[in-house]
Structure 1
Amino acid sequence: MAQLLTDAEIQEQASGLSDWKIEGSQLQTSRTFKDFIAAIEFVNKLVKPAESVGHHPDIEISYNKVKISLTTHDAGGLTQKDFDVAKLISQID
């Protein structure tokens, strides 16, 4: 099981990610697209990177808005896995 990060480690990792915020035990970001099709196309681009590292985001879609939440459920909070996946997601257009 992945090891939980300390509060200091979480803040340090979060400072290197623009457009992401800490909400409780989750790392979250939201993106807005021109329409539903563009939002779904973005979500589909998340599949391969998430599968490649074996760590999957929680995703909410509301028409043209996509909210992504990361947490390591089996560890009960934020781990290095969450920040690694956030970095991958940040690179997707």
Structure 2
Amino acid sequence: MSSELADQELQPCPLGTVSMHGDEIAPLMARLPGWALAEGGRLERSFRFPDFVTAVGFVNRITTVAEAAGHHPDLLVRWGEVQVTVWTHSIGGLHINDFIVAARIGLVADV
């Protein structure tokens, strides 16, 4: 399910775009296993790893996805864990691109 979402093209987010709410978010969340809707209208997921080096390697894979999309998540790195938070800063909430990027990040976690 998330791979179909990951394959979608990113959409323009022009000035004045309104963040997504309720009815739009729920079906997209169902397509993002492991992700949660966090406070402030953000997508959040923690990924666990056996050690710090593996966690940082995952961060490096995320940077490739983020740079290609021009959409950059917040990353918190701890020993054996990376917490990823995705939202569209310019609209202060969620846009379809957040779900697409989250799905792409989920795919690189499965590598």
TM-score, reference length from structure 1:
0.94
Matched letter for residue 49 of structure 1: V
- Give the gaps of 5 or more residues in structure 2: 1-13
CA RMSD after TM alignment: 1.0
Matched letter for residue 58 of structure 2: F
Matched letter for residue 45 of structure 1: R
Q: Name 2:33's counterpart in structure 1.
A: 18
| Distance in structure 2 (CA, Å) of the matches to 1:21 and 1:6 | 14
Matched letter for residue 33 of structure 2: S
Aligned-pair distance for 1:49?
A: 1.2
Q: Name 2:44's counterpart in structure 1.
A: 28
Aligned residues: 93
Sequence identity, in percent? 33
| Distance in structure 2 (CA, Å) of the matches to 1:34 and 1:87 | 22
Deviation >2 Å, runs of 4+: none
1:69 is aligned to 2:70: no
| Distance in structure 1 (CA, Å) of the matches to 2:32 and 2:97 | 14
Matched letter for residue 14 of structure 1: M
| Distance in structure 1 (CA, Å) of the matches to 2:90 and 2:22 | 18
